Amino acid sequence: MVAFRVKSAVLLALLMASPLAAAQQTAVKAVCPTVEPWGYQETEEGAACSFMDYVARDAGLLPKTEVQPIPRILHGLRDGTIDLTLIVPTPERLELAVSLCEASSISISIAYFKNAVGSFEGTRVGTFRNGALLKEFFTHGAEPVDLLTMTQGFKMLAAHRLTGTVCVQPGCDRAIRNAGLSPDELSMVPVESFPFSLLLSKQSPLASDAGTVEKLRAACQSPASHRILDALIREFE
């Protein structure tokens, strides 16, 4: 995680250069998912955390970032204890939150050892808890096994406790290496690509402040924020 601390220092320098950094700011809770490289629960850091920190400050807010599993994030969006998050905007999630901008995109595959299987039917495959994005895949007979992180899934794959496991790009190659594997050992079954969007809870007090919503939207869509997010993602690819 040393590389991440370097990125954080760069972001801090950018924020200190902004006139908004010294202003009185409204607090906002921004929560990142426990999906590499977007959020690492053990350090409360991640690309999504730094991105939302930048966007919130650029909009004149004072962010407090945390990292939580997606089921807890959805609960927080539902009851308004979370203001902002960066996740895939499924129709169910958009019932709880407003999409401010599409910040990036992700692609999801199922990774497995080369020549290991002809079919996943009847096998154990790792997926994130509340794995809504893989519902269609699991209709074909694979048994879903809940994971907290991609690295956990690849460690279970290496130990032959799984036949396949979820691979989300960007970030998957690093998770593979963290598990002591090489990408060259694995094959991938592509599942689907999804937008990755900044969401604002409909129950957040900020949602009723049209001025703040527009500032957040503009900050999220700005060329500067996209340059920062691209740089953060590259660190983990």
Count how many residues are written for the chain: 237
Name which of 228, 230, 211 is nearest 105 in CA terms: 230
CATH number of 107-193: 3.40.190.10
Is the pLDDT at 177 greater than 80? The verdict is yes
Does the fold of domain 107-193 match that of domain 2-105+195-234?
Answer: yes
Q: What is the pLDDT of residue 9?
A: 52
130 torsion bin: left (phi>0), alpha (psi -120 to 50), beta (else): left
Tell me the β-bridge partners of 68. 33
Is the pLDDT at 49 greater than 50? The verdict is yes
Domain ranges of the chain: 2-105+195-234, 107-193
Q: What is the pLDDT of residue 4?
A: 45
Cα 58 to chain centroid distance, Å, stands at: 20
Handedness of CA 29, 106, 192, 195 (dihedral sign): positive
* Average predicted confidence (pLDDT) for the chain: 88
Is the pLDDT at 15 greater than 70? The verdict is no
Q: What is the 3-state secondary structure (H, E, C) of 30-46?
A: EEEECCCCCCECCCCEC
Fold held by 2-105+195-234: D-Maltodextrin-Binding Protein; domain 2 (3.40.190)
Q: Concatenate the DSSP letters of all residues of 53-75 into one string.
A: HHHHHHTTEEEEEEEE-HHHHHH
Residue 141 half-sphere exposure toward CB, CA atoms < 13 A: 5
Q: What does the pLDDT look like over 22-38, one tens digit per residue?
A: 446 799 999 999 988 99
Contact 166, 126 (CB under 8 A): yes
